Amino acid sequence: MSDVAMPPSQKGLGFNMADEAIKARACGRDELAKALVHARERTLWQFDALQNALGPEVPVPFQDHLNPFLWEMGHLGWFADWWIVRNPERYSGLQCQPDVQRHASRQFARGVDADALYNSANVSHASRWQLPLPKSTELRMDLEHSLQEVLLALSTAPQTAEGLYFFKLALFHEDMHAEAAVYMAQSMGIDILLTQAAQTSTALKTQELGIALQPWTLGVHVADLGEKGFVFDNELQGHEVQVDACDIDSKAVTWARFLPWVEEVGGAAPPYLQKTAHGWEVKQGPHWHILNLELPACHISYEQALGWCVWAGRRLPTEAEWELAACTHSEFCWGEVWEWTSSPFRPFPGFRPHPYQEYSLPWFDGRPVLKGAGPATSPRMRHPKYRNFFEPHRNDIHSGFRSVRL
């Protein structure tokens, strides 16, 4: 990968700051246009790196947690086209009808049915390896045209939460796929990780932070939408919960705390980890390195996090405990790994799906909420209110956890 040009640098946010994410949600047209260009530059840099490693058409073996990279590229352009370029209600925000009649796609003139290829709601995961996907050169051309048409539509968008809603949705959607690309590439022995957060917690000793009995507002109130600019549907509605007094770790559980459990119970080590005569090593891309035991344990499944907690006589924090501590304790360090909580991913009271109904609605199945951010997370996504959600067995993601005293 030495001959692949690096994209523009991305500023890390530290551990208890979310300034860039807050600004991204509330930004206006000019800042949003720059962010959309920046996100696309990251996408194309990743694709360059993957082509360099795998060849022009980036072949991907079928696995449950992978997607063909060509499909990923086409899906990103299709998503922006579907909700912005082809959407006659693109400035209507939450009032947009999800099934409004769209304009024909630009690919239609070439005899390509973009909706049949890239609509993830209708195209099953397994079928994506059999689709007649365009070549990478065509996909790049489509992405360039899509971005230019999105920016043109943005230039006349109302400077309101409704007018900018779908542009921000497309931006965050691309950021999410860029993070997923890092996971997928790593599983194939390819390193496309651009570290977003400085790993400074190694200099900080874990301590317990006391949380007093108090109320906390989970989610975002509808009345605040004008000020916040953008929220995901599963963050609504804001509602008050009571948080009991507790003592929570100041940072995520480190390898030094986690690995003794693996060695004692004889369980399987997390992926990309091995023990040699020289000690524990971690794999990044195709290479193995000595593991820094003071870094947060990563690629940990929910089941492993629970197992460690039982062994250590501790428990996982609830979503409310994590969020309250992150927003009120200056010594609460977060942002190096996504952190499992004990709270199931469920709708808040008064939940209503946004026009992109497939974002949250299909996944309210009891899987746990993760909070925080990981090393591949864009600074625009590092928001303490953000609710991530993965199945409990997943350990290919940058997932870890912190604990609470029983």
Cβ proximity of 40 and 174 under 8 Å: yes
Mean pLDDT of 123-139: 96
- Range 325-363 burial, b when 16+ CB lie within 10 A, else e: bbeeeeebbbbbbbbbbbbebbebeebebbbbeebbeee
Q: What are phi and psi of 320, to 5 degrees?
A: -65, -40
Reported pTM: 0.94
Q: Where are the domains of the chain?
A: 19-187, 201-405
| Residue 16 pLDDT level (bands cut at 50, 70, 90) | very low
Write down the pLDDT at residue 195.
Answer: 58
Q: Among positive and negative, which fits the CA dihedral 228, 232, 238, 242?
A: negative
Say yes or no to pLDDT of 376 above 70: yes
SS3 191: coil
Q: Could you tell me the end-to-end alpha-carbon distance of the chain, in angstroms, rounded to an integer?
A: 47
Top-level class of domain 201-405:
alpha beta
pLDDT tens readout for residues 192-251: 987 544 455 666 889 999 999 999 999 998 877 767 789 999 999 999 999 999 999 999
Write down the pLDDT at residue 266.
Answer: 84
Write down the pLDDT at residue 17.
Answer: 57
* DSSP state at residue 100: P
Mean pLDDT of 89-98: 97
Strand order in the sheet with 314-315: 208-211, 246-249, 404-405, 314-315
